[in-house]
Structure 1
Amino acid sequence: MSSDTKPAQGTWHRRTGSDNGGAASIRTLSGSEPEDAGLYSAPTSHEGPGYEVEVPTVTCRRYAVIMVGLPARGKTFLSQKISRYLAWLGHESAVFNVQRMWRESLGVAVAPKGSTGSPGTSEYMLGMGSAQPTAESGDGSGNTPPTAGSATAKQQFIHADTFFQAFVANSKARPTSADLTDSTDKAPPSSNAGADEESPEATAYSAAVSHCVDRVKAFFGRGGLVAFLNDDFVTKASRDDVEARLQGVADSVLYIEVLRDDAINARFEELKVGNASEYGPEAGSRGAATDLAKRIALLKSVYERVGDDKSFIRIRNGSHIDLHDVRGYLPSRMTSFLMHLAPQNKAFCPIYFSRHGQSEYNLEDRLGGNPLLTDKGHDDAVALKNFIATIKEDNDRMLAQQEELRSAAAAPDAPGGPQNLPQMQKPLQIWTSQLTRTIQTARPAETELGIQCLRWRNLNEIHAGVCEHLTYAEVKEKYPLIHDFRKKNKYAFRYPDGESYQDLVARLEPVIMELENADRVVVVVAHQAVLRALLAYFGGSNAEHSVHVEVPHRTVWRCSYDASGIPTMDEMKLPPNPDPEAAKAAAAAWAKPT
């Protein structure tokens, strides 16, 4: 966005890479076309001198994580979330989506210029270069993927029968009489009789798997540590095939199997049907729902759970986790993260961020401290309360609808008998620091709207140590070396007796984990440095560059997720209060902290 164009107040503005000078902005990851196509340019934390970053030494094992489960169970969502979390910790990770690459290859009518090999082969697909990557299947080159509908990017809608025949032709899948899926319903019989291993669909699917493995190998060669292969992989044969291809590429293979009972999966199937990257407009909502149901039924007929001869993490209904032969630092971090992660409810529960209202120290350009809000700051608090009131109204309406559905399902005469539906929506919360300026900012919403407010010490502003309470001009005059060193490396420099941004990132990890686990809408009211770090994580930007991101007052950022776990970051400038006198009176009423 150019400097002479500002977003209208009261409207959402999509944060993009050109805002705030490029590198220091919050990068948008939205829909099915994230900028880096699956390889997150995520926050990293480097220790020691900068030149050590260039040493090409891999100090950890390289892990290939194979996602397993029926469609619409949350595999893509989980792989995206874990990948971003690992990257935040400084471990390069990427997600490679086999089916998306397969659909794209079927949509290519002719071989692109410069490609080699016959159609459907790995060499043929590698010849496509940057024309091939889309969400989750990118090679991290930073090349912009082609626009949807172009000759090399068109995705073909694959009907369930075609998909299943191509799948069984490659995996040698056989129907099983045992019900091994996460559903209690008996799977319908199916057969792979007549599956053509030489069909274009089957050949393209095999090539897509090979191409993903080739990209994983290239990713590891660039220093990557964790690669997620995202597909259904519901049969032992299909898993053995991809694991054999990974021999010599990855040091260890870990499976993450995602199970969810049919009774609680309907809501997530609706999300998948409505995902444009899964079913295009040519499918139609009814046709897409029918096709998805058929595809799930076909895959159920051949489903085999991951056996005890493999290392796996098995997640059932988002609340039960089984581990088998899971060892090592990175698998342990993945397990810990999964134990804190809400079961895909983040698709329904966005997170809002806002800076506290203007404080006395903001007016004086002072660091740290625990100042009170100014009159303008109290006006900012009222504006935030008005905004939160609209969120609460929508949330309360969803709560009422949910209770009606729960009551109807629990009735004795309910179709299929009484059921105890899970509570998907909960009252929203406000999270603040323990410093007065954030508490004052949240108090109008907390008291007048009756919203629960949690106060986190971890959300306190970065501590400036010996520079607390000083203006920036006083720091430059009194501590010139501190001023100069911090200017050279703002992220890593630690104030004497204080903190660095790198320390702040570590301090915020528990907050991030709890936000990931939050099964409700949360509004975070915090400070400039804290919001820089949080917006970097949830927006997928680089933590070291985030120190220069502008975090103005009277602004709200919204982080929302699609069904695939791709985050989108939007911002809104809060409009002026409609009644300045009423706002002033409210500010006076809340002028004193508790």
Structure 2
Amino acid sequence: MAAQLYKTKSGRLFHAGAVAIITVGVPARGKTHISRSLCRYMRWLGVSAKVFSVGNYRRDRMGSIPNEYFDPSNQEAAAARLQIANECLDDMITWLQIGGGQVGIYDGNNVTEDRRRDIRDRLVAQDIHPLFIESICNKPEIVLANIRSVKISSPDYIGWDPEDAVKDYTHRIEQHIANYETIEDMSFPFVKLMNVGEQLIVNNVHGYLQSRVVYYLMNLHNRPRTIYFARAGECYNPKSYRVDADLSPEGEKYAQRLKNFVLHYRKEKSQLSSTSSNKSEHQERPLTVWTSTRKKARQTAIPFAAEGIPVRQHSVLNQINPGEVDGLTLEEIKAKFPEEVIRAQEDPYRHRFPRAEV
């Protein structure tokens, strides 16, 4: 969990204001992946964030539509899609103004300069700070992989033959390319993301949250990887946070069994993948163990370190300090701090019990 950020009664960080992130680019460039991933990151920071997908709005209102509706020369269809896109934009603005939101992510193509300028002007008029993220990809293999892995399984292609879906979506991309204008107005705050992270171009970006977005994009990846979660072993005083006790003998046995299990499991996965044409993620990425800075977590990782596996300690993985409820049972907490229990249920992420460190 990230460090707690200051929050006002409005639900916003006092120093950041409302921020709108607008995606730019033709289809199959990773815009939706970026939108959802950024939303999770913002929420992890404690920021109220939400994705507003133009594609989802269009499917809700029009269902699955033929490719003729994406033809730039089809003025009737273009007007209908613009109306839906504006409805999505209006909903995001309303959510940022009165819905308790702070970061709205407007997931759409927004391929023309006129459209982006209209979006920016509407946001600025409402005291919302815009940030445009343009996804550019000039590697056909990345685009094709994205189409095959994500797009043909979308609601637009339910029941389609995969190859027919690829051809249809490729045609849709070509229609958008015909109308596409890259961001050139240097007055815009924007980030250009080249080939899913190979290069970043940052322009006119200011503000705390906007800077966090840029930092996150610098570390964004689109390659699948596996993360294993495991509890720390049992310690001598498991009910007390303050004591920060060592592992018990049973906890040490658990640490050894955990190491043996993880290494055996990865070995089996690697052997199975060696018979297939695809290279395993386990072959490509070595194992790294992350722990909190608490004793029981660090000591649980000792058997991994003895095998030469890198072990890194991160304070953000620490258990939240329970403060005055340290050592109490749930029934005792409810009896002693009934109002705090209600506050914790209403806002579990930000709530802290008395004398707990933030």
Bin the TM-score by the shorter chain. 0.7 to 0.9
Please report the RMSD computed on the Cα atoms of aligned residues, expressed in angstroms: 4.0
Aligned counterpart, 2:19? 63
Q: Flag the 1:429–1:399 CA change in 2: closer, same or farther, 3 A.
A: farther
CA offset digits 1:144-168 (Å, max 9, x no partner): xxxxxxxxxxxx1x34x32431xx2
The one-letter amino acid paired with 1:373 is L
Shift of 1:105: 1.1
1:171-570 equivalence runs, <5 A: 195-198=73-76, 201-222=77-98, 223-243=100-120, 246=123, 248-263=125-140, 265=142, 266-277=144-155, 279-307=156-184, 308-317=186-195, 318-339=197-218, 341-345=219-223, 348-362=224-238, 365-389=239-263, 391-393=265-267, 396=270, 425-447=284-306, 451-456=309-314, 458-461=316-319, 472=328, 491-493=351-353, 495=355, 500=357, 503=358
Q: Flag the 1:288–1:428 CA change in 2: closer, same or farther, 3 A.
A: farther
Distance 2:56 2:237 in 1: 52
Distance 1:459 1:309 in 2: 39
Query: SS where residue 427 of structure 1 aligns?
Result: coil
Distance 2:17 2:327 in 1: 47
Please identify which structure carries the higher helix content: 2
Q: Flag the 1:459–1:215 CA change in 2: closer, same or farther, 3 A.
A: closer
Shift of 1:53: 1.9
Contact 1:360 / 1:372 at 8 angstroms: preserved in 2? Answer: yes
Distance 1:302 1:47 in 2: 43
CA offset digits 1:47-76 (Å, max 9, x no partner): 58xxx6269998644333220122222211
Contact 1:359 / 1:372 at 8 angstroms: preserved in 2? Answer: yes
The one-letter amino acid paired with 2:183 is V
Shift of 1:244: 5.3
Distance 2:293 2:170 in 1: 49
Shift of 1:288: 1.6
1:12-51 equivalence runs, <5 A: 45=4, 47=6
- Point out the more displaced range, 223-232 or 378-387: 378-387
Aligned counterpart, 1:121? none
Aligned residues: 342
Q: Flag the 1:63–1:454 CA change in 2: closer, same or farther, 3 A.
A: closer
Distance 1:44 1:454 in 2: 18
Query: SS where residue 313 of structure 2 aligns?
Result: strand
Query: SS where residue 352 of structure 1 aligns?
Result: coil
Shift of 1:405: 7.0
Shift of 1:219: 0.6
Aligned counterpart, 2:68? 162
Distance 1:427 1:399 in 2: 15
Contact 1:358 / 1:376 at 8 angstroms: preserved in 2? Answer: yes
Query: SS where residue 191 of structure 2 aligns?
Result: strand
The one-letter amino acid paired with 1:357 is G
Contact 1:44 / 1:87 at 8 angstroms: preserved in 2? Answer: no
Shift of 1:216: 1.8
Higher RCO, 1 or 2 (CA under 8 Å, sep at least 6)? 1
**4+ aligned runs moved over 6 Å, structure 1:** 55-59, 401-406
Q: Flag the 1:397–1:316 CA change in 2: closer, same or farther, 3 A.
A: farther
The one-letter amino acid paired with 1:66 is I
Contact 2:245 / 2:295 at 8 angstroms: preserved in 1? Answer: yes
Aligned counterpart, 2:28? 72
Unaligned runs of 5+ in 2: 345-350
Q: Flag the 1:336–1:247 CA change in 2: closer, same or farther, 3 A.
A: closer
The one-letter amino acid paired with 1:303 is Y
Q: Flag the 1:250–1:343 CA change in 2: closer, same or farther, 3 A.
A: farther
Contact 1:210 / 1:245 at 8 angstroms: preserved in 2? Answer: no
Query: SS where residue 360 of structure 1 aligns?
Result: coil
Choose which of 53, 59, 71 in structure 1 pairs with 2:9: 53
Contact 2:24 / 2:108 at 8 angstroms: preserved in 1? Answer: yes
Distance 1:215 1:291 in 2: 30
Distance 2:106 2:2 in 1: 22
Contact 1:64 / 1:253 at 8 angstroms: preserved in 2? Answer: yes
Contact 2:5 / 2:45 at 8 angstroms: preserved in 1? Answer: no
Query: SS where residue 229 of structure 2 aligns?
Result: strand
- Point out the more displaced range, 295-304 or 322-331: 295-304
Q: Flag the 1:249–1:402 CA change in 2: closer, same or farther, 3 A.
A: farther
Contact 1:62 / 1:252 at 8 angstroms: preserved in 2? Answer: yes
Superposition TM-score, scaled by structure 1 size: 0.49
Q: Flag the 1:76–1:395 CA change in 2: closer, same or farther, 3 A.
A: farther
Shift of 1:214: 1.9
Contact 1:433 / 1:459 at 8 angstroms: preserved in 2? Answer: yes
The one-letter amino acid paired with 1:393 is K
Query: SS where residue 366 of structure 1 aligns?
Result: coil
1:71-150 equivalence runs, <5 A: 71-107=27-63
Distance 1:234 1:377 in 2: 56
CA offset digits 1:286-342 (Å, max 9, x no partner): 122222222223333332210124221111121321111212232222222222x23
Shift of 1:204: 3.0
The one-letter amino acid paired with 1:336 is Y
Shift of 1:486: 10
Query: SS where residue 246 of structure 2 aligns?
Result: coil
The structure with the larger Rg is: 1
Shift of 1:254: 2.1
Superposition TM-score, scaled by structure 2 size: 0.77
Shift of 1:263: 5.0
Distance 1:261 1:280 in 2: 25
Identity %, equivalent residues:
25
Query: SS where residue 153 of structure 2 aligns?
Result: coil
Query: SS where residue 301 of structure 2 aligns?
Result: helix
Q: Flag the 1:64–1:485 CA change in 2: closer, same or farther, 3 A.
A: same
Shift of 1:273: 3.2
